[in-house]
Amino acid sequence: MGNNMVKKIVALIFMTAVLSIVTTLGLKVDAATIVEKKLYTLENPTWMRTQGLSICNTSSR
């Protein structure tokens, strides 16, 4: 019974060591890359103008 307990303790120490090595030496991820997306907007779209809607109150007519 004592021999079985020693094997379990050795297995637990081995699994803990492997898990520690994997988590310590795992992939390092950097968030240095910033992705920018351009926002295309219409200043005064025709479909809004024909419906009587306007984005801004000033017009350049």
Return mean pLDDT, the chain: 77
Q: Name the nearest CA neighbour of 45 among 28, 25, 59, 26.
A: 59
Q: Give per-residue pLDDT as tens, 2-55.
A: 789 999 999 999 999 999 888 888 766 666 777 777 777 667 777 777 887 766
Looking at residue 56, its pLDDT comes to: 59
Looking at residue 29, its pLDDT comes to: 64
